[in-house]
A and B are shown apart, each in its own frame.
Chain A
Amino acid sequence: MSSGLLEIGAVARELGVAASTLRTWERRYRLVEPRRGAQGQRLYDSEQILVLRQVLLQLRRGNRARAAHDLALAPQPTGTSREQFEPSPEAPQRARRAIDALLAGGADARFGFHLRLVASELVKNAVLYGSGRDPIRMEARLFATHAELRVQNSGGRLSMKSLRSRRRDGGRGLDIVDALAEAWTIDTGPRGTKITVRLPLEPRPPSPPAAGDG
């Protein structure tokens, strides 16, 4: 087809699913809605076929059809690093080297520095406040517009208040994470703590001056 559009039969063959499945997904989830040809036939473009491939990938990973459609829309990482570190004073440095390897010199220098810094601070917190026994797990994922960093350690419940109150021991690490992150969450309980940070590729705009500042 000269326009690069494919009819439903061709798409179904390419993806290895029944044409009726594609029609059902279209009706139920409205994620991929192909344009129509002169005779009313469905015509899929390459972007839509890519989205359908993502749906199938999510299905193969064990997701149900609705979840697979939701996940197919989520951006896919361009790079991922999963590491484990012994909880020692050298762990933050190892975390920084893992980020170096993930970026492989291809990232903006400022963004690279921020990602290294946040990884280092999170792993440092895990060393200082974790159980001190089990390995610290770090996952870093790069996307087109941001990076997502997750650091997990075993140990008791940790509260934001207690973290911030430990400034003498480097509690300013959270101030740093606060300032650089677009968003972050802490998930903590009696068995451990997981902190997830989303770091934007573009710098955050400076905060407006506080009310009353001259």
Chain B
Amino acid sequence: MEFKLATADLGNAISRISVTGEVDLATAPELKDALAGTIRSGARGVLVDLSHATFIDSTTLGVLMGAVKRLRPLGGELAIACNDPNIRKIFEITLLDRVFNIYDSPETGITELRQLLTGPDVPGGATAQP
């Protein structure tokens, strides 16, 4: 499956980046650029949808970590959608499942991001659009 990215602005400062194919040393820079562009354009809740990703590696983890480090000081959050047990295991064995919010479906991830960014208990909730 060929590597592809699709970015969607879902409103209320939430964006989704859908990944198809394999993310590795050759393709991770594209994901990195897409994440950086999305954050620059104002997104504070970013869902990386790996539902159609067939492979990720440690470079991908580094890119996702970089995005988390940029978002959290802005009051934002990164969520990941993934239901492939092999890919989820990569997050687990590197203990990054404790750093990222990982959901089985993109819909659940987006719902959680919306709640997180607009919820009264979360610092930075004001970043959401009125």
Contact = CB atoms under 8 A, between A and B. Distances in A.
- For the residues of A in contact with B, the DSSP-based class is helix
A166 to B, nearest CB: 10
B62 A124 contact: no
A34 interface: no
Interface stretch (A8-16, A65-73, A114-122, A194-202): A114-122
Interface stretch (B39-47, B52-60, B103-111, B120-128): B52-60
B20 to A, nearest CB: 15
Contacts of A90: 26
B57 A175 contact: no
30 contacts: A89-B26, A90-B26, A91-B25, A92-B24, A92-B25, A92-B57, A93-B22, A93-B26, A96-B22, A96-B55, A110-B85, A110-B86, A113-B55, A114-B86, A117-B90, A120-B55, A121-B57, A121-B58, A124-B58, A127-B25, A168-B62, A170-B58, A170-B61, A170-B62, A172-B94, A173-B57, A173-B58, A176-B58, A176-B90, A179-B94
B55 A172 contact: no
Categorize the interface residue count of chain B. Answer: 10 to 19
A213 interface: no
Interface in A158-175: 167-173, 175
B1 interface: no
Given A113-B86, A175-B93, A92 B26 contact: yes
Interface string A119-132: 01100100110000
Contacts of B25: 89, 91-92, 124, 127-128, 170
A55 interface: no
Give the interface centre of B59, B90, B93 by most chain A CB atoms within 10 Å.
B59
A180 interface: yes
Nearest to A174: B58
Contacts of B85: 110
A197 to B, nearest CB: 15
Interface string B89-113: 0100110100000000000000000
A60 to B, nearest CB: 41
Give the interface centre of B58, B59, B90 by most chain A CB atoms within 10 Å.
B58
